[in-house]
Chains A and B, each alone.
Chain A
Amino acid sequence: MNMLLLMLVAGIVAGALGSILGLGGGIIVTPVLTLMMGLDIKYAIGASIIAVIATSSGATIAFLKDDVLNLRVAMFLEIATTIGAIGGALLTGIFNTSFLFILFGAFLLLSVYNMLKKIFVGEEVLKSANPDYLSTKFKLNSSYYDKQLKKQIDYQVENVPGGMAIMLGAGVASGLLGIGSGIFKVMAMDTAMKMPLKPSSSTSNLMMGVTAAASATVYFFNGSIRPDIAVPLALGILVGSSIGSRVMQYLPAKIIRLIFVPVLLYVSTQMILKGFGVSI
């Protein structure tokens, strides 16, 4: 009963915080479950992958139709992420716990760095891409309506193999650690393929759910997803992320993100230290 309430609250907080901070639910859930509750990281990862799906699906509930999304890019790159995710989920059983903690901590550090970069970056400059043979053949070039600029923006993408390779890595990280690895996904589309930020982050949100589903089935059948933990957590996140995405518009998001930077830095150090067998 206590456990249930705790997980429900943890879910609501993780869901709300995740959408306000721009992090997936997964990256918050695993430290809470392992550091605060002492849960085996195997079950934490299983619960976390459910959290990622709940976050992604929660966003779908909030917005029925997403005009910025590039469904072709999503599906094309999903080939790489889903293969990676299944591979990653299978690898989790091979690596030892310490390694998973260290890897997770490192990944969290990378997320914090990325969050800081987002806070201090100025207006986005539209990158000019040189569409190549692959991007044309697979019809990845598209356009979207920018609400702020109030105009239709056409964009092209390049370096499809590079983006695909990063996506494979994103899939492995997602399956291995039970996270959405949204940073890698945006990195692949934004940095490597030169897609504008809005369609790339929107496309990444959709891809996170599908990628997580690929490894979640592996975790579901191998007994890593405990119903007593994952169910209240998922319900909490569905509620929390819809609250979060609504209040986000009225909150000074940048300030909140800045406040949480030291918290996340502390958590990532704790995860790494735990991996090395040090506990404070």
Chain B
Amino acid sequence: MNENNKTSAEMAKIELMIGKILRAGVFVSATIMIIGLVLSLVTGSTGYPGNTFPTSFTAIISGIGALKPYAIMMLGLFFLILTPILRVVVSIYAFYKEKDYLYVKITVIVLAILIAGFFIGGH
């Protein structure tokens, strides 16, 4: 019984931590998006010709180096997409702490599918 109480208290702590991590993730992505947006308004430019915008990692990273507004905005969007994925990653940790190895495996499969999406989209 004592052991059970201990794990449920620990689980509650982990869940609270998950909540805080996600909250931080949303704030970080929103902040990056706002910076990009403000920069594009101030400079009056998107950093790219016409209606184009960067869609590959390398283009986004080199665009950020040059402080191009659209590159920063794309990074913010990318971070927003990462937030639910972060939820999956921390769930793996939570299941591991709970010693539920079956669900560590299941959640790793979900993460693997999400990562596969990255590579499929990149083509």
Contacts and interface: CB of A to CB of B under 8 A. Distances in A.
Contacts of A79: 106, 109-110, 113
A228 interface: yes
Interface string B23-46: 101100010011011000100001
A20 interface: no
Contact of B23 (A64, A76, A219, A227): A64
B120 A220 contact: no
Interface in A71-87: 71-72, 75-76, 78-79, 82-83, 85-86
Contacts of B15: 65
A82 B53 contact: no
Q: Is the interface of B mostly helix, strand, loop or mixed?
A: helix
B117 A86 contact: yes
A221 B120 CA distance: 9
A230 B77 contact: yes
Contacts of B122: 221
Interface in B1-21: 12, 15-16, 19-20
B88 interface: yes
Contacts of A181: none
B66 to A, nearest CB: 15
B35 to A, nearest CB: 11
B97 to A, nearest CB: 13
A90 interface: yes
A50 B80 contact: yes
Contact of B84 (A75, A90, A212, A227): A212
A227 B37 CA distance: 9
Given A57-B84, A86-B117, A227 B110 contact: no
What range describes how many residues of A lie at the interface?
A: 35 or more
A72 B55 contact: no
B114 A72 contact: no
B38 to A, nearest CB: 11
A238 B26 contact: yes
B85 A213 contact: yes
A57 B23 CA distance: 8
A48 interface: no
Contacts of B46: 228
Interface of B: 12, 15-16, 19-20, 22-23, 25-26, 30, 33-34, 36-37, 41, 46, 51, 53, 55-56, 70, 73-74, 76-78, 80-85, 87-88, 91, 94, 100, 102-103, 106-107, 109-110, 113-114, 116-118, 120-122
Given A61-B26, A226-B53, A227-B53, 18 more contacts: A1-B41, A50-B81, A60-B19, A65-B16, A75-B103, A138-B106, A209-B84, A209-B87, A212-B84, A214-B117, A218-B120, A221-B55, A221-B56, A228-B46, A228-B73, A231-B36, A235-B30, A235-B33
Interface of A: 1, 4, 50, 53-54, 56-58, 60-61, 63-65, 71-72, 75-76, 78-79, 82-83, 85-86, 89-90, 138-139, 206, 209-210, 212-223, 225-228, 230-232, 234-235, 238
Q: Which 5 A-B pairs have the closest CB atoms?
A: A64-B19, A209-B84, A218-B121, A221-B121, A227-B73
29 contacts: A4-B37, A50-B77, A53-B80, A65-B12, A71-B91, A79-B106, A83-B113, A85-B117, A86-B113, A138-B102, A139-B100, A139-B103, A210-B84, A210-B88, A210-B114, A214-B113, A215-B117, A217-B121, A218-B120, A221-B55, A221-B118, A221-B121, A232-B37, A234-B80, A235-B30, A235-B33, A235-B37, A238-B26, A238-B30
